[in-house]
Structure 1
Amino acid sequence: MSEIIVLHNPRCSTSRAAVEAVEAGGLEAFVRNYLTSPLSRDEWLDVIAKLDGEPGDLVRRDPNFERSGLKDDEVATAEQVATVLAERPELAQRPVLIRGGRAIIGRPKSRVPAFLA
């Protein structure tokens, strides 16, 4: 079976639930804490190319986003999103699961089991 990569924030309960789902399924995964081991711009572009959804979906619209001064039109394209997340990994949605040629944002939690099946 193909390797699964989980872009993980251990402080997030949804992210922890995704890691637990991988383990409960007896699957092998590489779990990467994207805050302590940030992705490069090129790595984010690779994730975006595999993403089920729009590039801007990867950016959290939370208080950190508001404090950053960014606007939605500044995180609309793959290039913009990759640049922003490489510079500010705390703005990344979590968790992100990657398997083969596909990537999903594991939010809500109910998306994860179908992706792992």
Structure 2
Amino acid sequence: MRISRLAERTGATARALRHYEDRGLLVPERDRNGYRVYTESDIVRVAQIRTMIAAGLGTAVIRRYLDCARSGEHGVSLEMCPALRAELDALARRLDAEEASLRETRQRLAALTSAR
């Protein structure tokens, strides 16, 4: 299938699919004319990529661990290994710190708006 059909079937834009290809996350075959040719397995791969991006992982991390992604009836999951666990734990800590910073900012804003 061509890139437009893959985009339609996955909900990703053709631009996003080209970006995934540029980052080494998606590797389509090429026909004689040089057009990208995608298979049914690329639909699953795009779902895995999009799920990992939505979870806050960057493309460099996804590239390292995309082979750990599994798709099943309950969606996409990751097969854990120590290095991946460390990456995910670091991301969770970073999110916790950002959340705490936002709470503090809200408190300062509330103090400013309630001060007379």
TM-score relative to the length of structure 1: 0.28
Give the TM-score, by structure 2 length.
0.28
Name whichever structure is richer in helix by fraction: 2
Larger strand percent: 1
Larger Rg: 2
